Amino acid sequence: MTNSSSTPLIKIRNVHFSRGSKLIFDGVDMDIQRGKVTAIMGPSGTGKTTLLKLIGGQLRPSTGSIEVDGQAIHKLKHKELYQLRKKMGMLFQSGALLTDISVFENVAFPLREHTQLSESMIRHLVLMKLHAVGLRGARDLMPAELSGGMARRVALARAIALDPMMIMYDEPFTGQDPISMGVLVRLIRMLNDALGLSSIVVSHDVQEACAIADYVYLVSGGKVIEHGTPAELAASDSQWSQQFMQGLADGPVPFHYAAAKEYAEDLMGVDI
Amino acid sequence: MMDFLQRLGVKSLGVLERLGRGTVFFFNILVSVPSVLVRPRLLFAQMYSVGVLSFSLIVISGLFVGMVLALQGFYTLSDFGAEGMLGVMVAASLVRELGPVVAALLFAGRAGSALTAEIGLMKATEQLSGMEMMAVDPVARIITPRFLAGLLSMPLLASLFSAIGVLGGYFIGVGLLGIDEGGYWSQMQAKIDFSEDILNGLIKSVVFGLVVTWIAVFEGYDAVPTSEGVSRATTQTVVHSAFAVLLLDFILTALMFGDN
């Protein structure tokens, strides 16, 4: 196994992917370093979640390669893929908690499925993971009784239950109030450093993602537009980066969706 | 004309593709059956929600169908002075035909639609994706226990439907219309054949259970993960199951009883 700290944990090379006739990725290259928090940012609809699914092996690229911990994930057999996934955690935007079992049972779920641990050991581990996200007291609640932020924290406790080598976060800050947002930002950084994880955060919340990321990739139009540390991107003179990082309404990404006719012509003419 | 042919072609290809996906899905279920059998608790939990919770619907419907059969049968049989055959008529109709078919249609409406909606919503809320990413195969963990529960529950429910129907016939025939109690039961005992009637009826209910549950879990798993998609999948489960049950009933009846 290529486990040395100098080699990237994930190597993405020249990945193309399309859904139907729509091209989502048109030659993407990325390196995700071990032990770091890497943010992948870009406007909505640029396929950031699709990229996480490609890394997790839920989708396969049309061409190109994706190596996770030295293994080409798109070439793995079903059994090998599932073995590798035990070392990967993923936090879905919705939390994806199982709605028919309690918070405790949700966190215990991967432990019960993949280990033969005794009930008392499972209890200890679950309480430790829930304590780490500040929700030990919510263990008996059902997922429907949790707020959005709490559900994501429970999902995070579940994602770290098997002590994975990496966690992928899909839009962790979307729809959160400022307090939950602050809690999540702190948790992602803290868990990454305390547990020696590698984290990938897919987000379009520039400030929050930049606050915790060691390295940032900006993705748009199926390509990596720019990459670097948050400071490097903030100082970048690329118009596109400036528009995205500063949230400008108009720029290389136009305010107006492309229309077939000029404005005046459209107003004067009869639409057929 | 070309346009029509093109649309027909596209539609046919879509149907074939879906049938193909359904078949692959069915084989995936079969492959994961051993993993469920070593964890019977998963199966028992599903047998409760699929089978036990359908119990009252099956009992009440069976009772009324049996009672109506007795009422209708009595007036026809009495024209020929053959009221004594009422027990045989009720039992044969139920065991051979109405038990498996009506129970399967009720099962599709009650348990099949619930299965589709549950699995479809799990897909829409990313619970199935979440499981995949936790290295837990959703087919083995979620689908197969439900499929096996449906497969095992259906013959039991159909048998229960027939048994309660026979009792319903008894209440009406003996209790209300006054036919001989001994005749009702003894004629039934003499004329209903175990392999010809009961076993064939049981085979029908196993086949219906397999098809209805397969349709239900596949529609849920293959649903478009939106509220509209789940709603459409639930409707399709009931409609496709009803068609499949009635079509298969005709084929099975022709094979089993056609040469009599």
B129 touches chain A (CB under 8 A): yes
* Nearest residue in B to A79, CA atom: B135
The pLDDT value recorded for residue A238 is 78
Q: How much is the pTM? A: 0.85
Q: Convert the pLDDT of each residue in A137-192 to its tens digit.
A: 999 999 999 988 889 889 999 999 988 999 999 988 887 888 888 888 888 998 89
Does B31 touch chain A if contact means CB atoms closer than 8 Å? Answer: no
pLDDT at res. B217:
96
| Nearest CB neighbour to A96, from listed B129, B137, B141 | B129
Question: E strand or H helix at B107, and its extent?
Answer: helix B99-107
Residues 74-113 of A with CB under 8 A from B: 82-83, 85-86, 88-90, 92-94, 96-99, 109-110, 113
Mean pLDDT of B127-150: 92
Q: How far apart are CA B119 and CA B147, in angstroms?
A: 12
What CA–CA distance (Å, rounded) separates B92 from A257? 69
Residue B205's identity, in one-letter code, is S
The SS3 call for residue A172 is coil
> Cα–Cα distance between B153 and A117 in angstroms, integer?
33
- pLDDT band of residue A209 (cuts 50, 70, 90) is confident
Residue with tokens 């939390």: A95
pLDDT in tens, A210-259: 888 999 998 888 888 888 898 888 887 777 777 777 777 777 766 777 77
Q: Which of A85, A98, A114 sits opposite B127 (nearest CB)?
A: A98
Which pLDDT does position B260 carry in this prediction? Answer: 60
Taking 70 as the threshold, does the pLDDT of residue B56 lie above it? yes
Partners of A30 in the beta sheet? Answer: A12
Strand order in A37-41's β-sheet?
Answer: A88-91, A166-170, A198-203, A37-41, A215-220, A223-228
Q: What is the pLDDT of residue A1?
A: 42
The answer to whether A56 contacts chain B (CB < 8 Å) is yes
CB pairs under 8 A between A and B: 48
Strands, DSSP E only, in chain B? none
- pLDDT tens digit string along B102-112? 999 999 999 99
pLDDT at A201: 93
Whether residue B120 contacts residue B217, with contact meaning beta carbons closer than 8 Å, is answered with: no
**Chain A residues 140-159 with CB within 8 Å of chain B:** 155, 158
Q: Report how far apart, in Å, the C-alpha atoms of A144 and of each of A131, B46, B146, B232 are.
A: 20, 22, 23, 25
Relative to beta strand A71-72, strand A63-68 is: antiparallel
Over the stretch B61-75, which tens digit does the pLDDT of each residue have?
A: 999 999 999 999 998
| pLDDT (0 to 100) of residue A270 | 63
Task: Name residues 6-35 of chain A within 8 A of B (Cβ).
Answer: none
Instruction: Count Cα atoms within 13 angstroms, Cβ side, for B207.
Output: 18
Please name which of B213, B197, B29 lies closest in space to residue B104, comparing C-alpha atoms: B213
Residues B36, B42 contacting (CB under 8 angstroms): yes
